């Protein structure tokens, strides 16, 4: 019941309260709705959303090291270790060291883990289809183009040297300087 109330609150927010809010907020709420819809469907198969990302990667690239899996998923290694350990206990994956390399653990899908692909991928496709129901294919193509442009632009900005003004703000100063900055900000 609480989730339904939260969903209705988000809908009211976007439909009436602030329809001209920033694009980032709209993307965040759309992502939240898509994630929640997929979580509900994954739970029927006793798969957590956290495991979903790792399974998707392994379905395409079985046998990655835990470090490679972390990098592909964009999460820290301790999180990957915990997820892999949990998926191993569920029978979805096994960890193995290759002969001659006792350092790296490679993660491999089991038959059970591989079998989940045919059950779970259709759930994600279903969520995507529900999400864009009633939206014209040309509008979906434009939305994809815009989102890819956002991703590209922000990735370029991330690797570009930061302007001096930004780096000065981010660099640690003396405690007196930071106290003065807080006082200046508080008076605004």
Q: Looking at the domain assignment, is residue 142 inside a domain?
A: no
**pLDDT truncated to tens, each residue of the chain (188 aa)?**
566 677 777 667 666 665 567 888 889 989 999 999 999 999 999 999 999 999 999 999 999 999 999 999 999 999 999 999 999 999 999 999 888 777 888 999 999 999 999 999 999 999 999 999 999 999 999 999 999 999 999 999 888 877 665 655 555 554 444 444 444 444 44
This prediction has a pTM of 0.71
Q: Looking at the domain assignment, is residue 116 inside a domain?
A: yes
Q: Looking at the domain assignment, is residue 144 inside a domain?
A: no
Contact by Cβ (8 Å): 107, 118? no
Q: Looking at the domain assignment, is residue 32 inside a domain?
A: yes
Determine how β-strand 64-65 pairs with β-strand 93-97: unpaired
Number of independent structural domains in the chain: 1
Q: What is the DSSP track for 81-148? A: HHHHHHHHHTTSEEEEEPTT--SPEEEEE-HHHHHHHHHHHHHHHHHHHHHTTT--HHHHHHHHHHHH
């Amino acid at each position: 019941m609480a989730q339904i109330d939260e969903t209705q609150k988000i809908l009211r927010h976007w439909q009436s309260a602030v329809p001209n809010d920033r694009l980032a907020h709209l993307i965040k709420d759309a992502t939240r709705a898509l994630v929640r819809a997929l979580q509900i469907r994954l739970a029927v198969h006793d798969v957590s959303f956290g495991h979903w990302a790792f399974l998707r990667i392994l379905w395409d690239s079985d046998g990655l090291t835990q470090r490679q899996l972390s990098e592909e998923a964009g999460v820290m290694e301790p999180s990957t270790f915990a997820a892999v350990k949990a998926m191993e206990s569920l029978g979805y994956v096994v960890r193995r060291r290759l002969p001659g390399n006792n350092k790296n653990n490679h993660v491999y899908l089991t038959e059970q883990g591989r079998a989940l692909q045919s059950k779970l991928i259709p759930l994600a496709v279903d969520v995507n289809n529900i999400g864009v129901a009633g939206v014209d294919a040309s509008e979906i193509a434009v939305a994809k183009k815009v989102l890819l442009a956002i991703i590209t632009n922000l990735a370029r900005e991330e690797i570009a040297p930061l302007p001096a003004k930004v780096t000065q703000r981010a660099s640690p100063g003396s405690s007196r300087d930071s106290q003065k900055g807080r006082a200046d900000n508080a008076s605004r």
